């Protein structure tokens, strides 16, 4: 079984997701051609996103490394980036069977009405494997502790996906019936709610409402993500003291990334729409108004203009903060491409306000730097173990460094589970169990209440017809 799932994982999201979506389309009654086209659109979207991400990391990796050398920014935690973090997570004993175990839990939660989300975003299961792998090494390679951490993370994420689904669907057009069960994104919801509440209490600031469109009107062409991308890319080249043609190339490249991402994310929506519409029809006809959400990757919406603008503003700020922040040992370089994924669940709550979104993202990243630094020793054990067993260069850590990655290691949910198990052990585990079960029961209560209301509305509608 381990070999089977390792092979499935090795296919990558661009191959896995077309297969999954084609099968789902056939299962819900779509014609083969239509189901295949939907699946291929999603697959092509992942290919395009991979190309654009590679465009960013391959062209900016060397200049950012050069900046760290020029200004002697030698921090002790080496940034592996999310692809390497995912490789480490999946190649540990916990990651080997994370997909079947989580799918089983998802099924049990669906039949017990503790979730509405069917999480088919299989590639991003590496987040659950990641926290499981780190805790596995905290407790001297204990599978029980590793799977406990992964399962707690998975259940909380599914409940959070349900609780944020209405906001998500209300903000983004054409995504009815979709939720985002990705723990990295969901981890920023508590930050968003708390900081947004504080910002709302500040006189004058609560009336400041600048969205991406307003930014364009205020600053003209300089407010567009494309032009902002060119400016930020060129600034990175200038700080790295590169020659003029290289500076200009980096500017155009960053601008291209900002322009291409919205176009690529449209492919995801084109692929999802037929399946989403068909699912809605089936649910309305056969389940009498009961709702089921399809759990999908946040890659669907990372091309939102506010997300792009805030990512561009955060790149230089994040680098500066990482250098001056007391107690931090992590310099984010390879992880910068993951900044796009901060905002998918944040924007529905900030209503796309650029200033608020930027401030919340900045605070979350600042705290996340401490999380990565504290988790680094145990993540380094996981990376070293994978490298020793497989020889995978992605898991190799340079001499004198520890391993780290912004992606999920800097998230509130992942770090809370890690800290609770490492520092409080059985007491921490007990608290996590109480919180997890409490969230499940609360979600079940909301689901049953919603189903009763839908059933009564349907009965009322039927009586009126008679």
pLDDT tens-digit series, residues 162-196: 999 999 999 998 788 899 999 999 999 999 999 99
Q: Which of 36-45, 199-208, 346-355 has the least mean pLDDT?
A: 199-208
Token pair belonging to 93: 């004993």
**And the tokens for 455?**
């059933």
**194-209 core/surface letters (b: 16 or more CB in 10 A; e: else):** ebbeebeeeeeeeeee
pLDDT in tens, 360-418: 999 999 999 999 999 999 999 988 888 887 777 767 788 878 999 998 888 999 999 99
Nearest-angstrom CA–CA distance, 322 and 73: 9
pLDDT (0 to 100) of residue 373: 95
Mean pLDDT, the chain, integer: 87
- Torsional sign, CA 173, 179, 183, 189: positive
Three-class SS of 293-308:
EEECCHHHCCCCHHHH
pLDDT of residue 87: 81
**Per-residue pLDDT tens digits for 147-159:** 999 999 999 999 9
**d(C-alpha 229, C-alpha 90), whole Å:** 33
Kindly report the pTM of this predicted structure: 0.88
Greater confidence (74 vs 257) lies with 257
């Amino acid at each position: 079984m381990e070999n089977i799932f390792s092979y499935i994982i090795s296919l990558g999201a661009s191959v896995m997701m077309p297969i999954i979506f084609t099968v789902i389309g056939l299962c819900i009654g779509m014609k083969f051609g239509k189901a295949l086209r939907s699946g291929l659109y999603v697959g092509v979207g992942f290919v395009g996103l991979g190309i654009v991400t590679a465009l960013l990391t391959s062209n900016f990796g060397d200049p950012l490394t050069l900046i760290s050398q020029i200004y002697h920014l030698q921090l002790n935690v080496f940034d592996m980036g999310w692809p390497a973090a995912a490789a480490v997570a999946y190649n540990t004993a916990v990651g080997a069977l994370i997909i079947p175990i989580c799918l089983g839990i998802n099924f049990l939660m669906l039949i017990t009405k503790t979730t509405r989300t069917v999480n088919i975003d299989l590639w991003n299961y590496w987040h659950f494997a990641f926290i499981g792998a780190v805790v596995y090494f905290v407790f001297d390679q204990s599978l029980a502790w590793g799977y406990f951490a992964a399962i707690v993370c998975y259940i909380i994420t599914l409940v959070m996906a349900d609780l944020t689904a209405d906001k998500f669907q209300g903000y983004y057009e054409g995504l009815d019936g979709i939720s985002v069960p990705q723990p990295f994104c969901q981890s920023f919801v508590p930050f968003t709610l708390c900081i947004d509440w504080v910002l709302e209490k500040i006189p004058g600031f609560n009336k400041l409402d600048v969205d991406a469109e307003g930014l364009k009107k205020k600053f003209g062409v300089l407010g567009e993500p494309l032009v902002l991308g060119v400016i930020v890319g060129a600034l990175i080249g200038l700080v790295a003291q590169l020659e003029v043609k290289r500076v200009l190339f980096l500017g155009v490249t960053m601008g291209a990334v900002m322009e291409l991402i919205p176009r690529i994310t449209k492919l995801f929506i084109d692929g999802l729409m037929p399946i989403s519409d068909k699912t809605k029809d089936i649910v309305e006809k056969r389940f009498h108004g009961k709702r089921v959400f399809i759990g999908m990757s946040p890659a669907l919406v990372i091309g939102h203009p506010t997300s792009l603008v805030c990512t561009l503003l955060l790149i230089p700020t994040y680098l500066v903060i990482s250098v001056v922040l007391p107690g931090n040992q992590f310099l984010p370089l390879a992880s910068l491409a993951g900044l796009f994924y901060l905002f998918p669940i944040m924007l529905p709550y900030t209503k796309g306000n650029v200033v608020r979104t930027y401030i919340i993202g900045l605070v979350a990243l600042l705290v996340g730097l401490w999380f990565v630094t504290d988790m680094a020793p145990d993540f380094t054990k996981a990376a070293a173990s994978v490298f020793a067993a497989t020889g995978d260069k992605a898991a190799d850590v340079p001499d004198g460094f520890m391993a780290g990655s912004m992606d999920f290691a800097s998230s509130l949910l992942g770090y809370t589970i890690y800290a609770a198990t490492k520092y409080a052990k059985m007491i921490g585990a007990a608290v996590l169990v109480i919180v997890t079960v409490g969230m499940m029961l609360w979600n079940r209560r909301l689901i049953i209440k919603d189903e009763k209301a839908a059933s009564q509305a349907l009965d009322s509608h039927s009586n009126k017809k008679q």
